[in-house]
Copies of this chain bind each other. A is one copy, B any other.
Amino acid sequence: MKAQLHAYIERYIPFSQEDLDTFYSFMTPEIVPKKEFILKAGDICKIKFFIINGLTRTFKIDSKGNERIIHFGIENWWATDLESFVLEKPSRLYIQALEETTLLTISKSNLEKAFQVIPKLERFFRIVTEKTLIAVERKNEHYIKMNSKERYYVFVQELKDFSQRVPQYMIASYLDITPEYLSELRKNK
């Protein structure tokens, strides 16, 4: 777990074993069973979760009461409601484990301490945030500006194995399609 975190960080910056030990000491491992929530709307997101393995989904409830999946999280991703975390305001999002998921958690206060002790972590999180931003913008460009059929094919093509782990109605939700219509699309392949 520690080694995995180390490898992940070293993708972006050089990081000594000492730094790793220090950073790791601010974190708490946690195993979350399937279906359990790690964040609920209304709560303030005070913890960042680094996913060691497993699968999460982040979703909100729209004005009609439907769940809308915003993104999935897999190993080596951070699951957080950044808006809630940064601004310390109640979240509008839910984050739920779809499989048994192993996490490394770090509280906001511990993260700030870590920044003080290991300044290069600022660089690391700057880069990680940039990567996340790029991914989010690419999703928008890719998906939103296509019609449903294109979106579905791009999704399946890019994430073939992943699309097996998730029920179809969740993929529909993520792609902003009704489950019925997605079913239609699959038929007329």
Contact = CB atoms under 8 A, between A and B. Distances in A.
A124 to B, nearest CB: 9
A87 to B, nearest CB: 8
Interface in A117-139: 119-120, 122-123, 125-126, 129-134, 136-138
A174 B120 CA distance: 37
A83 B126 contact: no
B70 A141 contact: yes
Interface of A: 60, 62-63, 68, 70, 82-83, 86-87, 92, 115, 119-120, 122-123, 125-126, 129-134, 136-138, 140-141, 144-146, 176
A42 to B, nearest CB: 16
Given A68-B145, A123-B115, A123-B122, A130 B86 contact: yes
Contacts of A138: 83
Give this chain's copy count: 2
Contact of A119 (B82, B119, B129, B134): B119
The 4 A-B pairs of least Cβ separation, nearest first, read A126-B126, A122-B122, A129-B129, A122-B123
Contacts of A132: 133
A87 B138 CA distance: 13
B136 A82 contact: no
A152 B94 CA distance: 26
